[in-house]
A and B are shown apart, each in its own frame.
Chain A
Amino acid sequence: MTAALLAKGLDKRFGSLVVAGGISFELPVGERCALIGPNGAGKTTLINLLTGMLTPDAGEIVLNGEDISRAPPARRVRKGLARTFQINSLFPKLNPLEATTLAVCERRGETGDFLGRLAARRDAVDEAYDILKSLRLDGVCRRETRELAYGQQRLLEIALALATQPKVLLLDEPAAGVPKEDSGELFQVIDGLSRQLTLLFIEHDMDVVFRFASRILVMVGGRLLLEGTPAEIANDARVREVYLGSAGHG
Chain B
Amino acid sequence: MIGNIIGVLYDGFAYGMLLFLLSVGMSVTLGMMNFVNLAHCAFAMIGGFVTVTLINNFGWPFLATLPAAFAAAAAVSVVFERILFRRFYRATDLDQCLLTIGVVFVSIAAAAYFFGTTQQPVRLPDWIRGVVAIGGHNFGVYRFFLIVVALAITGALIFGVEHTSFGARVRAAVDNQRMARGLGINVDRVFALTFALGSGLAGLGGALAIEVVGLDPQFAFTYLVYVLIVVSLGGMGSVGGAFAAAVLLGVSDTAGKYYMPQVSAFLIYVIVVALLMWRPLGLFGKRHA
State yes or no: do A and B touch (Cβ within 8 Å). Answer: no
